[in-house]
């Protein structure tokens, strides 16, 4: 259909002269988009008046019921669910927070560890100082007149993991020259852990002939037998030859010599 | 700051930011109430139906995809709410005549309250005398700003078909209006 015919139809409609057949045609043209509703003036005016027609507003009651319903829904939506917990928009910040906290923890641990090393060093130094102090105390106690003090000094070496050369020579000195037999015996006992040291061993052998106490002699003979020190036999035989040596002691020393040989 | 679009707000509601529904409610409570009131002339019932629309929006928020227009989606729901209500109401058909008379009475009272213009009052009365489907399409046209494509989505027909429906409804309205004019 040409434009002229359409315009003619519109004009006829606007003049309220369109017949039912033409009205059907107009409907068809409207559906096809060839006639715009705005072109039908009377209807357009009616439509505009319809738009101006105001309708009443709802009461405040509607607001109350709506916001009450919303609050109820929010309350029920706030309930915990794993699905909601792992929902990405919420989960992402949680994950980020957890990661940052973990990293901070690790960083704090690392930073606190560094002074810890210093502490270990300090403790090590302190331990050394205590050992030095013990040595000094032991050496000074060994020079005391009281046999009890000297025994204490000897027993102090038992606490030491690794006695210094100074300590072993002090103990040997005590073994050879102390007046008290018990102190000498204690010194011999304290020297036992260090017999692997060849110097200590030699000094112990040399010490055999220097001893006049049968108890110390016997103890020394036992140590030699334990260690299987063959070079000590000569020194032990010297004791056997000595006339002052008691018979029992000689017998024990002979047994020890048998063990060594 | 530019106000958030309806669709942006509804997508937030979909993501459980329920407070945003309050903003949509403030935007649409009046037009929705107007639509229902235009359909049933019962203010109390219209408020209930508006409430039902928002209840359904909340319930079915996960179905909103954000592809179409929110307003179109909302009027689609509104139409269903209206139909569901009157389907139930058919059971009470006996009461309907009394209701109708009551409504007509209140209608006139209300008219004088809010409709100063005599012409518009007559138009309102003419609207009330239109069949429901015609009244509906005119109200949708009014509240959807003549967006016939969107109205077609609500009514489930083509844009052209909506235009024809509007044309026919306006034709009928014109006829009823003239009839009423004669009796005035």
Quote the ipTM score: 0.78
* Contact yes or no for A65 and B58 at CB 8 A: no
Residue B144's closest chain A neighbor by CA?
A51
Question: In terms of residue numbers, what domain contains A206?
Answer: 195-261
Nearest CB among A43, A63, A73 relative to B18 is that of A73
User: Does CATH place domain B1-93 in 1.10.1740.10?
Assistant: yes
Q: Within the 53-82 window of chain B, which residues sit less than 8 Å (CB to CB) from chain A?
A: 54-55, 58
Tokens 């508006």 sit on residue: B50
Three-state SS at A168: helix
Please write down the HEC assignment for all residues of chain B.
CCCCCHHHHHHHHHCCCCHHHHHHHHHHHHHHHHHHHHHHCCHHHHHHHHHHHHHHHHHCHHHCCCCCCHHHHHHHHHHHHHHHHHHHHHHHHHHHHHHHHHHHHHHHHHHHHHCCCHHHHHHHHHHHCCCHHHHHHHHHHHHCCCCHHHHHHHHCCCHHHHHHHHHHHHHHHHHHHHHHHHHC
Distance CA A236, CA A240 (A): 7
Closest residue by Cα to residue B18 from A137, A178, A71: A71
Give residue A81's pLDDT.
63
Local confidence pLDDT in tens for the 184 residues of chain B: 346 788 999 998 888 888 889 999 999 999 999 999 988 888 999 999 999 999 999 888 888 888 888 999 999 999 999 988 887 766 554 455 555 555 555 544 544 445 456 778 888 889 989 998 999 999 999 888 888 988 998 888 999 999 999 999 999 999 999 888 887 7
* Contact yes or no for A62 and B113 at CB 8 A: no
Domain presence at residue A24: yes
**To the nearest whole angstrom, how far is the Cα of A32 from the nearest Cα of chain B?**
6
Residues of B in contact with A63 (CB under 8 A): 29
Distance CA B109, CA B102 (A): 11
Residue B123 at interface with chain A, using a CB cutoff of 8 Å: yes
Residues A212 and A259 in one domain: yes
Tell me the fold of B123-184: Arc Repressor Mutant, subunit A (1.10.10)
CA angle in degrees (0–180, nearest 5) for B96-B100-B103: 135
Distance CA A155, CA A160 (A): 10
Residues of B in contact with A69 (CB under 8 A): 51, 54-55, 58
Residue A49 at interface with chain B, using a CB cutoff of 8 Å: yes
In DSSP notation, A3-19 reads HHHHHHHHHHHHTT---
Q: What total number of domains does chain A contain? A: 3
Residue-wise pLDDT tens digits, A23-38:
898 989 999 888 888 8
**To the nearest whole angstrom, how far is the Cα of A82 from the nearest Cα of chain B?**
15
Kindly report the average pLDDT of chain B as a whole number.
83
**To the nearest whole angstrom, how far is the Cα of B180 from the nearest Cα of chain A?**
15
Residues of chain B with CATH 1.10.10.10: 123-184
- Strands in chain A per DSSP E: none
Residue-wise pLDDT tens digits, A98-156:
999 999 999 988 887 766 667 778 888 888 888 888 888 888 888 888 888 888 888 87
From A176, A192, A208, the end of a domain falls on A192
* Contact yes or no for B15 and A31 at CB 8 A: no
């Amino acid at each position: 259909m040409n434009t002229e015919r359409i315009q003619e139809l519109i004009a006829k409609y606007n003049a309220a002269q369109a017949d039912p057949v033409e009205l059907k045609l107009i409907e068809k043209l409207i559906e096809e988009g060839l006639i715009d509703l705005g072109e039908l003036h009377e209807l357009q005016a009616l439509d505009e008046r319809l738009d101006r027609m105001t309708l009443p507003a709802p009461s405040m009651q509607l607001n109350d019921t709506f916001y009450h319903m919303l609050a109820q829904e929010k309350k029920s939506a706030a309930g915990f669910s794993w699905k909601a917990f792992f929902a990405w928009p919420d989960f992402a910040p949680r994950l980020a927070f957890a990661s940052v906290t973990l990293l901070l923890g690790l960083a704090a641990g690392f930073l606190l560890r560094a002074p810890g090393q210093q502490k270990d060093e300090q403790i090590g130094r302190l331990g050394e100082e205590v050992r030095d102090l013990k040595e000094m105390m032991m050496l000074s106690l060994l020079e005391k007149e009281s046999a009890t003090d000297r025994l204490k000094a000897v027993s102090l070496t038992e606490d030491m993991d690794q006695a210094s050369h100074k300590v072993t020579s002090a103990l040997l000195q005590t073994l050879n020259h102390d007046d008290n037999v018990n102190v000498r015996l204690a010194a011999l006992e304290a020297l036992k852990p260090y017999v692997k040291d060849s110097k200590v061993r030699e000094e112990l052998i040399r010490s055999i002939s220097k001893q006049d106490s049968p108890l110390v002699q016997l103890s020394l003979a036992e140590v030699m037998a334990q260690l299987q020190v063959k070079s000590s036999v000569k020194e032990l035989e010297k004791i056997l030859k000595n006339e002052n040596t008691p018979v029992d002691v000689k017998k024990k020393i002979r047994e020890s010599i048998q063990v060594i040989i | 700051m530019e106000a958030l679009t309806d669709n942006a707000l509804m997508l937030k509601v979909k993501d459980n930011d329920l407070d945003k529904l309050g903003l949509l409610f403030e935007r649409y409570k009046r037009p929705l109430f107007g639509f229902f009131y235009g359909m049933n002339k019962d203010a109390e019932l219209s408020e209930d139906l508006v409430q039902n629309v928002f209840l359904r929006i909340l319930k079915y928020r996960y179905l909103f995809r954000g592809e179409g227009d929110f307003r179109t989606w909302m009027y689609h729901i509104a139409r269903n709410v209206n139909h569901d209500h009157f389907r139930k109401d058919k059971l009470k058909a006996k009461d309907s005549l009394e209701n109708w008379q009551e409504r007509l009475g209140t209608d006139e009272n209300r008219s004088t309250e809010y409709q100063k213009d005599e012409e518009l009052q007559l138009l309102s009365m003419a609207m009330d005398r239109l069949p429901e489907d015609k009244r509906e399409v005119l109200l949708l046209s009014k509240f959807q700003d003549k967006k016939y494509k969107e109205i077609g989505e609500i009514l489930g027909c083509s844009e052209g078909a909506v235009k024809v429906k509007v044309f026919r409804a306006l034709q009928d309205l014109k006829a009823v209006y003239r009839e009423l004019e004669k009796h005035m």
